[in-house]
Structure formats: structure tokens, C-alpha cells
Structure 1
Amino acid sequence: MSQSGLPVRADRDPSPPRRIAMLGGTFDPVHHGHLRSAVELREALALDEVRLVPASMPPLRGEPRVSPADRLALLRLGIGDTPGLVADSRELERDGPSYSADTLASLRREFGREARLVMALGHDAFLRLADWREPQQLFELAHVVVIDRPDHQAALPEALIELLAGREVDDVEALMVRPAGYLLRLRLPSRMAISATEVRQRLAAGRSVRYLLPEAVEAQLLSRDLYRHG
């Protein structure tokens, strides 16, 4: 009872929907650019988790240089105890190519239809989005957040413009109104210009990769001679 003598009504508001992002890639190998982007993405979107999902067989890229098990182990080493970052192995446990629509469908089943599900991707991958398998289904399952590059002024392909019609929003609040269906362009503070290709080339040549990736990842790469011959 309240001081007025009226019964106090229990708060019936449900807990807010969970906010989950998928950040895919080969992570060949994981480096500070991947990890810092994941941390800043979580902060910018107020996410509960960022799921870093290594691809087993990326449909639009070449074969990764080391085994899926090694890339996953390195990713887990790199993440360590960072709050809110999760190394997610679901694409490595499926047969066949790693299609994002299948991964998002799996995440949607796991977290429920009200969860705010986000697929985050870089600008280069975004420009090819209309070429992905079932691109419309991506928006049925999740929002798309593009980690923008301020120096990238390339015009969007016509097929991509058609795919995005009516979907773009200007801020996180508008994005999170619905569980899926919108596009947000996001500029992260650090924008580390680290390339996995450059890391592999340096390792193959026996050159230093210090400060390009976490120390635990570097130590494992060097102790096992991964990427050394290439």
C-alpha cells in the first residue's frame, strides 16, 4: 500500500530487448583493428554483446591462410576478458559456405524475435552487399550498421541503392525502435588502419608485428610459426 492508501501497482514493463551485434570476418589473423572496432561498436550502440564470428568458407573471399580452429583460438586469445565481446564459433560448426543470412537466422532463433539484432560490416563489404545471397533477407533478420570510412566517397552501385531504399536512419535511437530492417552509417572514433593482409606479409617476411595485434596473439603466432611461410 502507498501512503495514500491505494495499492501500489507492480511495474509491468518488460525488460528492454537485448541488443546483439554480429561482426563477421575471416580474422586471418585477428588484430587490434578488429578488436577496437568491436569495443567502440558496443559503446556506440549500447549493445549487450558483440559476437565476433569467424567465417569458415567466406563466399566472396579467398581461402583463409590457417585452419578455422587456429583462427578461432587466436580470436579467443585476442578477446581475453574484454566485457561484451564473444568469440562465436557457429559458422565454423556448419558445413558449406559461411552465408550471413544463415548466421543471422541462427542468432535470431537464439535471442528471440524482439531482440535488436545488428549486422556490422565495413564500408568495402557494404558496397558489395547487393551481391550477397538473399540480401533482402538480411534486413528481415537484422539491422545493418556500416562502419564508415571518412575518406571513402565512391558512389553506391544502383542495385545497392535499390536495396537500401527507405531503410536508412540517422541515429541509434531510430535504429533501435524495431528489431530489424534499418541501415545506419556509423563512424567510430579510432578507425585503426590495420590490415590483416599487412600482418600476414610481415609475419611471412619475419618482420615485427608488435602493437598491431594483442601480445597473446603475437606470442601464439610466433611460437607456432603460423603465417611464417607464405
Structure 2
Amino acid sequence: MSLPAAVLNAPATVLRLGVFGGAFDPPHRAHVALVEAAIAQLQLDRVQVLPTGQAWHKPRQLSAATDRLAMTRLAFEPLPQVAVDDREILRAGPSYTIDTLQALQREYPHAQLYLLIGDDQRRSLPSWHKIGEIGRIAIICAAGRDQAVRAWNQHSDAPESSPPISDTLQARMCSLEMPLMPHSATDIRALAATEQALTGLVPPAVERYIHEHHLYRLH
């Protein structure tokens, strides 16, 4: 894994704070695996997991925020380093990553922030709101790229093509080593719509929540 100098040279006394946002509609095992990999490989002290509020970039309406927040708490409950943060849900207007990072920077002025993203998010980075400022505030750590992952990401909400990532931004990025986990929230919602089992795709507590609350049903 190639790490920027800022990662390698961060003093041991500095709080290493991971930031992981997403729709989590629903949260699935690949989400959890990404956070676990980041904690281990970046030696993170804490990770703020933030379900998005109003997703400006999503072409569809998200499920109720209360359900996504509840599922996210269930998914990450086994990880003691994780705190599920509802600030983006409570914030009025579109959810922009830069707003969250700036708020966390004010709250933890001596912390090194690590923005955790999936491969699909990596490809859309150039279109993010104030991406240059995001790169200055946080080191961007993305799930490792893989041909098979690209194949299933074609069915996700990510854009099929994006502008190239600048050299300046690349210098603030690193890759996380992860096993191939072709999990897609789109596919999981489709399975849940017909009440099929989600075993192995989402944490057991999340699967129970989806079925008990009849989420993603067609009727």
C-alpha cells in the first residue's frame, strides 16, 4: 500500500480520525470491511461514520433518514473505534463533505483527518464540491481498485466516467488493501424488494432490520 508522506510522518501523539460518509441505503459488509481495513492499516484512533442527509449527487430519493441511521448504528456497533454521527442528517440543505470536514477540523484542531471512500467515489472525486479544499484538509484513502470491482460498480450510482484526478490531489491520496467484495447497495435493495435473503451481504442485524421494517418492498 502506497501512503503519502503525511501519513507516514504523522506524530504518534496526533489523533488519527477517520471520516466515512455515505447514503448507507443500506449499509453492507463492504462498508464495514473498508472501515476495518482503514483502522488496521492507518492505525486510526477513531472513525466518524456519517449517513448523508440530502444527497445532492444521487439520482434517486434515499430511504428515510431514521432507517438509514438505525441500520448504520447496527452495522458498525461491533467496532468500538466507530462513532455513528448524525450531523449530516440534521443539517439543512445538501450534504457536502467539505462542510463536515471543516466542522470536524474545528472540533479536533490537532487531529489528522483521513477521508475514507470506496472505489466508486474515488472515480467521481474531481466533481466533488470544493475538492481542492477537501484534499488540503484530509488525506483521502480509497478502497483498492480491482477490475471485478469496476465491473459491479457499473451498476452503482457512481458516474461511468469522470475527469482525471489532478497530480496535487493524487499526492494526498492512498489506497487501502481490501479483499474483493462485490457488494452493491443497488443489488441488495433489489433482493430485499422481493423479500429474498441478504445473508452474507449485510450484517445480520441489518438484515433483520430490513425485513422487520419491510424496507425496499415493491408494495
Tell me if both proteins adopt one fold, taking TM over 0.5 as the criterion.
yes
Which of these two proteins has the greater Rg computed from alpha carbons? Answer: 1
Q: 1:83 to 1:191 in 2, by over 3 A?
A: farther
Contact 1:119 1:143 in 2 (8 A): yes
Q: 1:200 to 1:18 in 2, by over 3 A?
A: same
Distance 1:150 1:223 in 2: 35
Aligned to 1:172: none
Structure 1 segments unaligned to the other structure (5+ residues): 1-13, 169-181
Tell me the alpha carbon deviations over residues 87-133 of structure 1, each in whole angstroms, 9 at most, x when there is no partner. Answer: 11110110011100001001111111x31101111222122212111
Structure 2 residue 175 is matched with structure 1 residue 185: yes
Q: Give the letter for the 2:101 counterpart.
A: L
Question: Which TM-score applies when normalising by structure 1?
Answer: 0.79
Structure 1 residue runs of 4 or more that deviate by more than 6 Å after TM superposition: none
Q: 1:211 to 1:155 in 2, by over 3 A?
A: closer
Among 127, 133, 136, the alignment partner of 2:129 is 133
Among 111, 116, 120, the alignment partner of 2:112 is 116
Q: Give the letter for the 1:135 counterpart.
A: I
Aligned to 2:8: none
Structure 2 segments unaligned to the other structure (5+ residues): 1-10, 151-159
Distance 2:29 2:98 in 1: 27
Aligned to 1:227: 216
Q: Map residues 161-200 of structure 1 onto 2, 5 A cutoff.
A: 161-164=166-169, 167-168=170-171, 182-188=172-178, 190-200=179-189
Deviation of the 1:150 alpha carbon: 2.5
Distance 1:220 1:19 in 2: 32
More helix by share: 2
Aligned to 1:55: 52
Aligned to 1:143: 139
Distance 2:31 2:183 in 1: 9
Indicate the SS of the match to 1:62: coil
How big is the alpha-carbon RMSD for the aligned residues of Structure 1 and Structure 2?
2.2
Q: 1:103 to 1:161 in 2, by over 3 A?
A: same
Distance 2:43 2:137 in 1: 19
Q: Give the letter for the 2:163 counterpart.
A: P
Contact 1:56 1:97 in 2 (8 A): yes
